[in-house]
Structure 1
Amino acid sequence: MTKEDSHVRAAHRLLQGIILPVDDPFRNSYYPPNGWRCRCSTRKLTQRMYDSRVKVYEQKGTSDLTDSEMSQKRAGEVVAKPFRRNVGTSEIFDRNGHPYFKANRDAREMQLSAVKNYGMKLVKDICDSKISLSKYRGGIKSPEEFRQQWEAWEKQYEKPGEGFTIVDKKNNISSFFDRSLMEKTIRRKRYGYFDEIERIINDPDEIWATWQPSGRMKNEFFNIYARYYEDTPVAMLINNDGRVDSLYKWDGKPEDFEKFRTGLLKKRKR
């Protein structure tokens, strides 16, 4: 809903009147604010109010305002990328491509800390508590098993021989697993916990937007998914191109895992 006055920008006027269920995917990407100084808001309707609006829309020929796909297409044309999220669920704007970080030269060094800045528990305390930690359900124990599972994923996601992509629809993040990652994982013998990728993506404990050292450059932007298991934390790093750089269980000290918990927090469960 806009304020319906002379100050409403034309782009936001195009979104006026969209009515969709509260759990519709539209809400994950186009929940107000949809721009700087946006005054738009939402309103919850009863079923009777919804049915009444739908009848009016049908009479006016504007039924596309109740169609999720059409509404997402319309919003995608007018809402700038940094604002395409629901800050109520993701807790923060996406750092990557955000105008503030383009303008601020020191943005890469402004790495917020999980404990100091967000008041979160230390990884060591999370692991020691054993409360509500995930239990590892299986285990890929050999390169052969890993290749077979990889080929099954490619078939499942309709990209045989090319890798596969899994989309985190809640946070609007795509993760592309290419064949070079498969070979690298086998060389480094890091295929344990790889069968957890769907749980890690769909139900992470934390997601961080951060700058980390990489083999390609001094600092590189990553989205980092973290999930805590009863025996170890697991991290998945996705680079700026949406390619998964690595996924592995943490074999070091719990306190050393803190290096992944810096930057901007995009999601947290704990």
Structure 2
Amino acid sequence: MPSPAQEFAALQKLTPAEAVAYLQRRDSVTQTFGWQDLWQDEHAKQFTVSRLARADLLQDIQAQITKSVGGDLSRRDFLRDSKTLLQQAGWWGEKEVIEPATGEVLKTTFDPARLKLIFDTNTRMAYAAGQWERIQRTKRSHPYGRYITQRDDKVRPAHRAWDNVTLPVDDAFWHTHTPPNGWRCRCRIVAVSQRDFDAGRTPTGEAMKKTAPDVVMRDWLDKRSGQIKSIPVGIDPGFGYNPGLASARQQQRQVVDDKLAALSPVLANAAKVAGVSIPAVAKAIADQPNWKSLGLLDLRTFQSAATAPEMLAGAASAEAALGTIRTALGIEAGGSVLVQTPVEMVMLNDLTLPHVVAKRTDQRERFANFILPTLRNPTEVWATRYDDATVRHRYIKLFAGAKYDLLVLVLLEPDGSIFWNMMQRDRKGMNVLREGDRIYDGT
């Protein structure tokens, strides 16, 4: 009997070329200590197995998955060979690993069930990315996509409601709802011609649903980072993105980066400031001082906090979100504003705002009224060192009467230009980010 993964691959009716290309574009392996550590689009560039703290084993497992998708190995072969690999390396069964950032001892288990989940998730994402690439190539003749479930009792109720939703392939619905939409999700998307769309019936005679469902968002706490993330209802955390679009964006970014690398440093930096390319994702380096090592109070014990400003409504589009933030900051299109903070003068530039609101699922514009109070009167400011040799100032502000506190990150570039971003966190999450040198105490 074929496995769910084999059934999924067969239903895609794909040659493995597109799926293999997706896997090969993930040209780096990353050690992570929680599945949340590599989030959504980041999987288009990097491969990981949570808490497998050996790069050589990560590379070997990645190679095995690529061979499986390419047809050189069956699922059974992958499970057998990966088990042998992990056994020989002493990684089979329960293991303890040390989280470098915190020194915490974490437990993990590698067994047949874990290997099946690794295989199924990676192959389904690869086939989904490959299918999306094909849909994009053929959208002139097949301009619509149709959501299909397996129509059995294992289908999630929310996914069942999306069965036969048929929309233009460029509809925003597919940005977040392209399957798989959860762990072991077997849903898929197929291309639909204009003639079939006009007929309004599926090959089995069912009516197509031609209206995009309402996308309702919910807040979800990432317990690893403490960050509050906004995710679509009905989709498992970490699956609310389109793997094909993520892979395409990664390819486009690589082209831009290659072109920038060929420019002189002055021109390359000017292009980055102009929004041609945004700073690469960087991570705080390990072994910096933190609030615990410095003997500081837990933020959850703080009694004094500012009154929270009005929380704004989420915008319907990125352009509307941009307008919301411009209004809150007093920035005109193409302009900038200077903000005096306790430690420096910060220039907020309109050119950097599109990046702040780019992830529409986060709806960061809701917190636009929190930005200026955070910069002008922060609770703390931390200078945190990152692995790209930069130092980013983390402005932390505590607000009373708000479910979340606000964190503003300000990055000072070597040429004096400034890139900034913001995120909302609960107070436990804020504690995690109190690392580096505390350069201002407003308590």
Interval containing the TM-score (normalised by the shorter chain): 0.3 to 0.5
TM-score between the two structures when normalised by the length of structure 1: 0.47
Structure of higher RCO (CA pairs closer than 8 Å, 6+ residues apart):
1
Larger Rg: 2
TM-score between the two structures when normalised by the length of structure 2: 0.30
